[in-house]
Amino acid sequence: MTQAELICDWGGEAVVSRFDKPSGAWCFIALHDSTLGGAVGGCRMKTYARPADGLRDAMRLAEGMTYKWAAIDFPFGGGKSVLAVPPGLAGSAREGLLRRFARLIDSLNGAFSTGVDMGTTPADMGVMAEECRYIMGMHDGRPQDPGPHTALGVLVGLKAATRHGLGAESLEGVSVLVQGVGDVGAPLARLLAQEGARVTVTDMDAERAEVLADEVGGSVVAADSAYGAECDVFAPCAVGGVLSEATIPLLKARVVAGSANNQLEVDLDAERLHDAGILYAPDYVVNGGGAIAFGLMHLGEHDDAVLRERIGGIAGTLDAIFSEASAHGHSPLQAARRRAERVLVERKAERE
């Protein structure tokens, strides 16, 4: 589909699109739903085969943010930004793009706020904050890293999932395969090891995986063998679309809980997991720790104990989702969607 066709076919509210001629990048801001407030979502930077693929990614991610904010009942709407960049963009050309994009966001006057996502860093947000008032995760003028907060939320959610899916009251001896050991996967692996889990890691960067496995006393599996590896819990913490009609039959895990956005290739894959007896922790709930922390910071709360306590609430949210899904005999994704939609309907009614 062309960019125009994608926009016309989308159920969101608006798309802001700009071609950045100096860098050769396409800039997309997808605003999905403002029921709960101004849209908030990360800034992803990636090279795509076609600009339209970057637009599609932004739209899908923006919808996920709507459900994420609604699931945790925060006063933000769903949005996402994507910078579809040419290969090898670096140095002053990359910084120039970030600054120009920040000014574009600032011109929206709060309709969209952004933060770190795949391909961008806290340092990038520091650069953008020099040009834009609407950067999430800033404290005392310094950009913060959402990775450790997200990892803590995944740990909390993973514990809830293992209670429901494995009947395990602790992670002691539970085998967890972490796919992708970047800004979230690496701290997650360390937290899991501290909890007594048996940790296996995999990453496209085999050397990085080996170093982390040695640090946490874990093991490594090759990236192309990860889906069929023996484990109790599969934790996707890299790219999206990894759970599909092709990969789900390979899984040996009984639980899926990880930080990657849009883990399912299509929504039907949630039913495929359910039919296979695999408990799926909906990604936009289990990976909400970073959003919770940065959302609270944006609202003026910076006390670490408060942030950790609110992130701990992910467990209760998932408990309710799993219980509802079990009672109705369907996937947790359906229960999570209904939970989020109830919040959206209630807030719309309050505004009317």
Q: Give the number of C-alpha atoms closer than 13 A to the C-alpha of residue 194, restricted to the C-beta side.
A: 8
For the purposes of burial, counting CB atoms within 10 Å of the CB of 284, is it exposed (0-12), middle (13-18) or buried (19 or more)?
Answer: buried
Q: Which two tokens stand for residue 1?
A: 């589909």
The answer to whether the CB of 1 falls within 8 A of the CB of 9 is yes
Q: Which two tokens stand for residue 138?
A: 């800033």
User: DSSP assignment, residue 266?
Assistant: S
Which residue in 144, 147, 86 sits closest to 118, CA to CA?
A: 147
Supply φ then ψ for residue 194, to 5 degrees: -65, -30
Q: Which residues are catalytic?
A: 80
Q: Give the number of C-alpha atoms closer than 13 A to the C-alpha of residue 263, restricted to the C-beta side.
A: 26
Q: Which two tokens stand for residue 299?
A: 């609202």
Give the list of residues 6+ apart from residue 281 with CB closer than 8 angstroms, or none.
157, 158, 160, 161, 255, 256, 257, 318, 332
Which residue in 352, 232, 264 sits closest to 60, CA to CA?
A: 264
